[in-house]
Amino acid sequence: MKTRQIHLVARPEGPAAPAHFALVEATLPPLAEGQVLVRNQWMSVDPYMRRSMEAEATDLEPWPLHAPLNGPSIGVVIQSRNPRFPEGCLVESMSGWQEHFISDGDEFVPYLSADMAIARRDLTGGAQPQDFLGLLGVASQTGYFGMMCAASLVAGQTAVISSAAGTVGSVACQIARLHGMRVVASAGTDDKVAWLRDVAGADHAFNYKEVAFADAFREACPDGIDLVLESASPEHLSACLPFMKEKGTILIAGFVGIYERGGKVRNIDNFEYVLDRFLTIKSYPFMDYLGHYDQFVADMVGWRNAGKLVFREQHYAGLEQAPQALIDLLAGRTSGKPLVFLGDGDGA
């Protein structure tokens, strides 16, 4: 059977570009006993993927050259020799960046299991297939588990959320608001700031390209900062430190701002605030909280259905658009969670 895949053909030394990728036709073998053939419907692009393009990626295995890439995807089983996964069932995997793949039916755990491992997903409570990459995807889990499991949310306290118009940040903002916190949000365009203020319900939002961090925090956090969910950069984290209240908490979900500049964190020259104010800085793997996955699904779908949480997506059509979707995400040009539609799952 013929299918199409995206391969990495060169490792970038600066920003990712279309020339680093290639669209390749591949032939899949016949199914063996216990295997299934999956037609991917949707795939996700995420900031961590820029790190996977490096030869010395530290958190996940680096992407290989001239081979199918991995990433979150949702698809339909179109041929099956495995009774646990009959034809027509919906499955999630880490086998994105390709239209079809063959799975042995191994158990799927995001980022931990083999790329071709799969898990059945059911469309309950009004969920759509792409929700498992968007509303219920790993970026949403990072925002949810950070706020709901790794942090303590106290009504009336102040939470600062960076990259707040992205998936992690927008979920975190809205969860903080649902729990009665004051939310101060930063983003990189005026349109994103307006969305955070008018739709996501942030109490204060600012464009960090136009307003200095210190000025924004001085205005928005007169009583100090209790909680930070950091996704943007070491510079944003550093700017928060002088405004942190004693025994405050900083959760680090990522540093998107360094992924295109070598992935290194340079010296933070005001770290003494961490000691002087007894701050907690925590980097957390969302996988540690997968025991709460069912509650996560119930909460996220329930909040959306009740109009308490808004989730934005930006769609790209066709596997050939996947590299551009990632490039746009890393450049800050996306609005909402970027997802790539690969097909309807009918075998075409």
- pLDDT tens for 22-35 read 999 999 999 999 99
Across 106-120, 196-210, 322-336, least confident range: 106-120
More confident residue, 87 or 344: 87
Decide: 244 and 225 in contact? Cβ < 8 Å: yes
| pLDDT-based confidence at residue 198 (cuts at 50, 70, 90) | very high
- Res 347: pLDDT: 45
Question: Cα-Cα-Cα-Cα dihedral of 320, 321, 326, 327, to 10°?
Answer: 100
In this structure, the chain runs to a length of: 348
Whole-angstrom Cα distance, residue 113 to residue 132?
Answer: 17
Q: Residue 279 has what pLDDT?
A: 98
348 has pLDDT over 60: no
What band does 346 get if pLDDT is binned at 50, 70 and 90? low
- Residue pair 217/171 in contact by the 8 Å Cβ criterion: no
Domain boundaries, the chain: 2-134+311-341, 139-287
Reported as a pLDDT band with limits 50, 70 and 90, residue 101 is very high
How does pLDDT run across 177-187, given as a tens digit for each residue?
999 999 999 99
In DSSP terms, 230 is beta-bridged to: 252
Give the architecture (CATH level 2) of 139-287.
3-Layer(aba) Sandwich (3.40)
- Place 56 in a pLDDT band, splitting at 50, 70 and 90: confident
Number of neighbouring beta carbons within 10 Å of residue 32: 10
**pLDDT value of residue 241:** 98
Residue 345 has pLDDT above 80, yes or no: no
- Mean pLDDT for 121-129 is 87
Cα separation, 342 vs 205, whole angstroms: 35
The predicted pLDDT at position 19 comes to 97
Question: Is the CB of residue 31 less than 8 Å from the CB of residue 37?
Answer: yes
Q: Residue 43 pLDDT more than 50?
A: yes
**Among the ranges given (9-18, 29-38, 49-58, 298-307), the one the predictor scored with the smallest mean pLDDT:** 49-58
Least confident of 68-82, 108-122, 155-169, 176-190: 108-122
* Pairwise CA distance, residues 323 & 321, whole Å: 6
Which residue stretches of the chain are H helix? 49-52, 138-145, 167-178, 190-198, 213-220, 234-240, 272-276, 293-305, 322-330
pLDDT (0 to 100) of residue 91: 97
Tokens at 212, concatenated: 């200095």
The proportion of the chain whose per-residue pLDDT surpasses 90, expressed as a percent, equals 82
Confirm whether 2-134+311-341 and 139-287 share one CATH topology: no
Which superfamily is assigned to 2-134+311-341 in CATH? Answer: Medium-chain alcohol dehydrogenases, catalytic domain (3.90.180.10)
303-315 confidence digits (pLDDT tens)? 999 999 999 999 9
Q: What integer pLDDT is reported at residue 244 of this predicted model?
A: 98
What percentage of the chain exceeds 70 in pLDDT? 98
